[in-house]
Structure formats: C-alpha cells, structure tokens
Chains A and B, each alone.
Chain A
Amino acid sequence: GAVVSQHPSWVICKSGTSVKIECRSLDFQATTMFWYRQFPKQSLMLMATSNEGSKATYEQGVEKDKFLINHASLTLSTLTVTSAHPEDSSFYICSAREWGTAPYGQYFGPGTRLTVT
C-alpha cells in the first residue's frame, strides 16, 4: 500500500516552454501532497504544500507564478513549470499523506528528472 507515482519519470524541454508533472496516489486518498526539488548531492527542498480543492501554499522564495500547482482530486496533484529555463533543471519529487491517518509518514513518488535545454 501507500504507493505514489509520478509522470513523466524524465523530461527534456526547450527553454521557454512549460512542463507539467503529475503526482498520483495509487491506492489511497491524499488530501495533502507536497512538492520537493532536489539538486545533485543535496537534500530535498520543499517547494509547496498542495491541498485538495484549495490553493497551494508555497515556501518562501518559490515563485508561485512559475511553479503552478493544481490539486484537483484526492489522488492527483500536478506541478507545471512555466517558461522553463536551464536553471529549473532539477529532480522534482512529490509526496502524499494518506487521508484519515495521523499527520506523519509521507510517502514519496519516484521523482521526475527535468532537463531544460
């Protein structure tokens, strides 16, 4: 149980284009999902908290207009990187918390490698 998937697993896009990354909880409902960014050999950096049916909460320094988050259902959250630039190249990972359980133990997706050329 508690499986989280991400799609795509990797993507290459040209500078100036937009990329959408999907995060799905496969066998549970997730009222809250989180989006992280990870640079090589570094730890995970929380970008935003995504709540089903409401606006996402962004961490300080994260541009909400650049990283659009939509949590339209209890099993799907999407992250759209708009007008991507090479510095947006990174490993993006989502996590989800199962509805009805205590607020600990987030389950992570396998990550999406974004390369902007």
Chain B
Amino acid sequence: GQQLNQSPQSMFIQEGEDVSMNCTSSSIFNTWLWYKQDPGEGPVLLIALYKAGELTSNGRLTAQFGITRKDSFLNISASIPSDVGIYFCAGQNQGGSEKLVFGKGTKLTVNP
C-alpha cells in the first residue's frame, strides 16, 4: 500500500529554536494534513493543505503542500516546551477515498 516517508524520526532542540520536518510519498495526494499527538491522547489537527503549492500558517506553525503533490513540510518557529510531542503527516488519496495514510511520526523534544 501507499506509504509516507516522514523525517526526521526524532529531534532534540533547545527552546527558541526553529524546527522543520517533512513527508514524502511515491504517489500523489490531493490533501496533506499535519497532526500533533501527546502521550495517551488522540491526534490533534494542526494544519490542512488542499492545493499544490499552498503555504498555510497557524500561529508559529507553517506548512506547505509540495508542487509535485508528493511532499509536504511543517515548520515550527521559536519552539517552546509545550511543542513536545509526536507530529504526524497524513495524506489523502487522490482517488477520492476519505482514508488517510499516515507517516511514522516525528518525535520532538524541546529542552528548556
């Protein structure tokens, strides 16, 4: 089945630093989504991207939908301790299926 390659797997940064993570796919998606999951909780939707080339911000978070439709990145600026968690990218198939394909996640640790 389809797979998303999400990198890096983990990041250890200092508070105040910027963070960048990305997802790539061998196939096209028509929607990219970025979620954050805290331990023992469900994922929370951060940003949704609907068009190739789209750049969307949500506070300190910025995400872009790649022109090829096969990749997306998420940037977090001026990280704070509460940014700690696991970030997942997810793509929705172009065929119209509502199913999401998830990346394996990026675990972010922020040192105060």
Contacts and interface: CB of A to CB of B under 8 A. Distances in A.
A49 B98 contact: yes
A93 B43 contact: yes
Interface residues of A, number: 24
Interface in B33-77: 33, 35, 40-45, 48, 50
A19 interface: no
A102 to B, nearest CB: 8
Interface in B93-110: 96, 98-100, 102-105
Nearest to A106: B100
Contacts of A4: 42
Given A42-B104, A43-B104, A113-B40, A108 B35 contact: yes
A67 interface: no
Contact of A110 (B33, B42, B88, B92): B42
A6 B42 CA distance: 10
A110 B40 CA distance: 8
A10 B99 CA distance: 26
Interface of A: 4, 6, 32, 34, 42-44, 46, 49, 91, 93, 95, 97, 102-111, 113
Interface of B: 31, 33, 35, 40-45, 48, 50, 88, 92, 96, 98-100, 102-105
30 contacts: A32-B98, A34-B98, A42-B104, A43-B102, A43-B103, A43-B104, A43-B105, A44-B102, A46-B100, A49-B98, A93-B42, A102-B50, A103-B96, A103-B98, A104-B48, A104-B50, A104-B92, A105-B31, A105-B33, A105-B45, A106-B33, A107-B45, A108-B35, A108-B42, A108-B43, A108-B44, A109-B42, A110-B42, A111-B42, A113-B40
